[in-house]
Amino acid sequence: MHADTTSSRKADHIDLAFLSQVSETDNRFYYEPVLQPHSKDFLNPLNFLDCELGAPIWVSSMTGGTNHAKIINQNLAKACGKYKMGMGLGSCRIILDDHTYLEDFKIRKYIGDTMPLYANLGIAQVEELILSGKIYKIKELIDKTEATGLIVHINPLQEWLQPEGDRISQSPLTTIKELLNKTDLKIIVKEVGQGMGPESIKCLMQLPLAAIDFGAHGGTNFAMLEMLRGNEIRKEVYEPLANIGHTAAEMVDIVNEILNESKNYTCQNFIISGGVKNFLDGYYLTEKINAMAIYGQASALLKPAKESFEMLCEYLELQIRGLAMARNFLTIK
Ligand SMILES: Cc1cc2nc3c(=O)[nH]c(=O)nc-3n(C[C@H](O)[C@H](O)[C@H](O)COP(=O)(O)O)c2cc1C
């Protein structure tokens, strides 16, 4: 290395040392610096949802049907194609009967033919379509978005908090079972930021789902978002509801407990999402769960995806390199 470069780095060290004091230790990991060399900055491919993925990262369902949605979705899909990752579309309700915004959701050409791309509907719409004998519309939706399957988001708390929200007339479990019985679609079920408790998780694990996506508490919170849209008194009365839910870490423990009791569950594929802020969170949670899992992010990816494709790629590349490093030197406690 050139002597000038070394000298300038040493000068930086002296200048920055006082600013570089840390007082918190992340106690989730053992750091083992002695046992491995540096590896290459890439990850081994993994198999998930019958696809070979290049990274254990999933783009959680977000947008469509607004001004910026098309570009954001294209950026996300192109990045998924480039790094071989899967993606959920935002709610496709808006294109069930009307094609004004269809282009926002037509991103198969960007993600490529082989990557998982899932359409998305809320449980209330799925219930309504089933009860009105229009389940064919779900199949049409899969065809027009060229999706691999369907994500159903189950969000009764969010809907309840919306003054204009939908009300469901049967349990989400009943609706999902009917959907599975009446179609041969690949189905993923998710929450949208509150997570799910043990009985719900256990019931879902008994079904032939492609995966269960946590949508856990601790990140974007739609209960809070709905309150921010409403008036002050409503906010004051219902605000504590935003604190209800289950974090991704708690849900991992719940899944592990369920699997400790019995390995006999039909669905053991998980997308760990909701409040996954960075690759260390993702690494920790996917290592800790005793099942096949990748991690999902929504808001963390939305930020760079809104800026540009290049920024999104940089953000993802940094995560992938971070994961490769973590695999070498970090084990979970
Ligand atoms: C802007 C935005 C829009 C979203 N829209 C949907 C949606 O249409 N369908 C859905 O299932 N989840 C939706 N979500 C929820 C996310 O998929 C995810 O479950 C939730 O944001 C928690 O992840 P995070 O903490 O990484 O943001 C949305 C999230 C954001 C930030």
Domains of the chain: 46-332 (3.20.20.70)
pLDDT tens readout for residues 13-45: 877 887 878 889 999 999 999 999 998 878 899
Q: For residue 303, how far is its CA from the centre of ligand 1 (angstroms)? A: 13
86 CB within 6 A, ligand 1: no
CB of residue 89 inside a 6 A radius of ligand 1: no
The closest alpha carbon to 41, from 327, 301, 249, 287, belongs to 327
Nearest ligand 1 atom, CA 192: 19
Whole-angstrom distance, CA of residue 111 vs CA of residue 61: 15
- CA distances 145 to 100, 115, 152, Å, are 14, 13, 15
Residue 2: band (very low, low, confident or very high) from pLDDT cuts 50, 70, 90: low
Report how far ligand 1's centroid is from the alpha carbon of 212 (Å). 15
* Nearest CA, atom 2, ligand 1: 62
Q: Is 122 helix (H, G, I), strand (E, B) or coil?
A: strand
Integer-rounded Cα Rg, in Å, for the chain is 21
Our answer on whether the CB atom of 217 is closer than 6 Å to any ligand 1 atom is: no
The predicted-structure confidence for 116-168, as pLDDT tens digits, reads as follows: 999 999 999 999 999 999 999 999 999 999 999 999 999 999 999 888 899 99
Q: What is the mean pLDDT of residues 177-198?
A: 98
d(CA 10, CA 125): 61
In the predicted model, is pLDDT for residue 213 greater than 60? yes
Distance between CA atoms of residues 322 and 43, nearest Å: 10
